[in-house]
Structures are given as structure tokens and as C-alpha cells.
Homo-oligomer: A and B are copies of this chain.
Amino acid sequence: MKDFAGTPGTVTGLVLRIAQFMFAAGCIASMATTTSFFNFTAFCYLVASMGLQVIWSLSLALMDAYALARNRVLHNSILVSLFVIGDWVTATLSLAAASASAGITVLYFHDIGGCTIIAECFKYQFAVALAFLSWLSAFTSSLIMFWLLAAG
């Protein structure tokens, strides 16, 4: 299999995984410090989806770090197929969760204009922004993985 930036076991790949992990963890932290996120189905879904993203990205970051440290190559087609499926599932769930939460944030803070506690609103918006950043890095990873699989 070809070797290019962002594939498993490269420094760019590791950086992408760490970025996904950091953004997703930040999103969960921002949501968890609000007092009423559990009243909104979409925000609960966002936390669940970011939790999945955290677990997935952390596992793959550790695998990348191990491959880099030991100079191992992770490019066999079964492993890459697994990465592709996992990446696509987490990226799609992240985008759906981020969009659903963004829909509600816009509804509350723009359409209705009913944001009474400024600190809370800011936290919701910050969490949504971090979720989109996490999706963006996960999407980049998933495109690279898919390209790697297809290009053989």
C-alpha cells in the first residue's frame, strides 16, 4: 500500500488523531459543565457521539504512536478496512450530532432569542464549534483512509 501523509503510523496521522481527541474531549467538557444539557436530546446525543469519538481517536493515536516508536507498518488491507469503517461511522455520527446541536443553538439564540444565562449559551456554542472541528479532523482522516484502501 502507498505511504502518504495522514496514513496510519505516520506523524501526520498521529497529529490528526490527537486533534480529534482534543476537540471531542473539549466539547464534552464544555457540555458537561452546563447545568441543563440533559434536557435536550440533541445535546445528549452530541455528548454520546463525542464520547465515541474520544475512545476511537485515543485508541488509534496510541496505535499510531506504537507504530512510530517501533517502526512498524500498519498498512495491511484488513486493518485499513477496519479503520475505514470506524472512521466513517464516527465522522458521520459527529457531523450529525454537531449539526443537530447547532440547529438547536441557532433556534434558541437567534430564532427565539431566549438566551437568559449568557455563560451557559456561550458554553453550548463553544461545544458545538469544538464538535465541528472534531468532525473536520475525523473527516480528513476518513478520506485519507478510504483513499488508501481504494488506491490499494
Contacts and interface: CB of A to CB of B under 8 A. Distances in A.
Contacts of A95: 92, 95-96, 99
A68 interface: no
Interface in A80-123: 92, 95-104, 106-107, 110-111
A150 interface: yes
Contact of A146 (B99, B107, B150): B150
A88 B80 CA distance: 22
A66 interface: no
Interface residues of A, number: 25
A39 interface: yes
Contact of A41 (B40, B41, B100, B110): B110
B147 A111 contact: no
Contacts of A106: 41-42, 100
A98 B107 CA distance: 15
A150 B101 CA distance: 33
Contacts of A147: 146, 150
A77 to B, nearest CB: 13
Task: Please indicate which of the listed interface residues A104, A110, A146 has the most CB atoms of chain B within 10 Å of its own CB.
Answer: A104
A88 B40 CA distance: 30
Q: Which 10 A-B pairs have the closest CB atoms?
A: A100-B103, A150-B150, A99-B99, A42-B103, A103-B103, A96-B99, A99-B100, A147-B150, A41-B106, A150-B151
